[in-house]
Amino acid sequence: MSFNSSLMRESRALSFVNRLIDNSNIPEGTLRKSQFRSNVSRHVVAQLGVASTQTRCELAFLKKLHDLGDKTMDA
């Protein structure tokens, strides 16, 4: 996966909403804090190939990335 402008915009939006929640600027229960993780090791992504990760959006592939991220966090 690469950091393109759409991804960066989404990341900033999540950060903004999380700051609003942290600072109690919105009514309780209106929104929920979100997490954005990028913890799949670089060598795993390199093995997958940049072109492969940028264009694939099938559920099985995304679950594989999620599982790899969980393994990285547990290590």
CA distance 6 to 10: 6
Asked whether residue 52 falls in the same domain as residue 25, the answer is: no
At 59 the pLDDT is: 92
Asked whether residue 51 falls in the same domain as residue 32, the answer is: no
Asked whether residue 24 falls in the same domain as residue 46, the answer is: no
**Domain span holding position 51:** 39-75
CA distance 75 to 32: 28
Task: Select the more confidently predicted residue: 30 or 41.
Answer: 30
Domain count, the chain: 2
pLDDT at 3 over 60: no
What's this model's pTM, rounded to 2 decimal places? Answer: 0.45
20-55: b or e for each residue (b if 16 or more CB lie within 10 Å)?
ebeeeeeeeeeeeeeeeeeebeeeebeebeeeebee
pLDDT in tens, 49-72: 766 667 788 899 888 888 887 777
Q: Look at residues 29, 33, 9, 1 and name the one whose alpha carbon lies nearest to residue 20.
A: 33
pLDDT in tens, 12-33: 888 898 898 889 888 878 888 8
Asked whether residue 43 falls in the same domain as residue 32, the answer is: no
Asked whether residue 44 falls in the same domain as residue 21, the answer is: no
